[in-house]
Amino acid sequence: MSASAPRDAGGRLERRLDYAFERPALLARALTHRSAASDHNERLEFLGDGVLNFVIAAALFERCPEAPEGDLSRLRAALVRERTLAAIAEEIDLGEALVLGPGENRDGSRRRASILADGVEAVLGAIYCDGGFAAAQTVVHALYASRLAALPSADSLKDAKTRLQEWLQARARERPEYTLVSVTGADHCQHFVARCHLADTGDTVDGEGGGRRKAEQDAARRMLERLHADDQ
């Protein structure tokens, strides 16, 4: 570690992972952000991403023998997304062990979700290089034990536009139409308003968000809420 991370932070992280590195230099590299040194963690992050995706895919394949490919893909995406990885990083206090450049330290990047998520992947890549696939698989299973034991329903992971379309299709109704209503604000903080329109009934609902896709998803969510309320 360097002055950018607390003394023995790497050792504490090993204890939380229940894995001791034969080659500590691999762990040091996995914890080094590119802002801190030229020997940084991006290549290990690439490798760890592949290892993680395979281990989680295999675990879901075994745990959900009846699930179709689409459901498995949605479940895997939820388990390996940035938000989930950042939460895991917080659980093992990975942030305290990261080695960051002076600028990143001042900006509070030690708690930034993207940096934490990348760090988890890099550490998994380092474990694979140090102890092989079985070691990396064991660590992934331990990190994900509670999440794999309490998997959400695949339907709950579908985005609002998909859920709305499926709701309409199940009732032999036409697909919804989306149009962009307005874009306001400066280039770096634009605000979008999108409209969801049902051609067969004429119903329209507007949604908002920081991008067109987000605004359309918000409009679909609001339309679903209206349809469900009308059903009651």
Residue 44 CB partners (closer than 8 Å, separation 6+): 26, 29, 30, 121, 122, 123, 125, 126, 129
Considering the entire predicted model, what is its pTM? 0.73
Closest C-alpha to 127, from 37, 75, 55: 55
Residue 190's pLDDT band (cuts 50, 70, 90): very high
Residues in the annotated binding site: 45, 118, 121
d(CA 230, CA 93): 47
How does pLDDT run across 107-132, given as a tens digit for each residue?
667 788 999 999 999 999 999 999 99
Q: Which helix (H) or strand (E) holds 193?
A: strand 191-197
How does pLDDT run across 8-65, given as a tens digit for each residue?
777 899 999 999 999 999 999 999 998 888 899 999 999 999 999 999 999 999 999 9
66-85 average pLDDT score: 93
Closest C-alpha to 135, from 214, 227, 17, 222: 17
Catalytic residues, by residue number, are 49, 121
Residues in the annotated binding site for Mg(2+): 45, 118, 121
Which structural domains are found in the chain, ordered by start?
9-152 (1.10.1520.10), 160-231 (3.30.160.20)
**% the chain with pLDDT above 90:** 75
pLDDT confidence of residue 216: 95
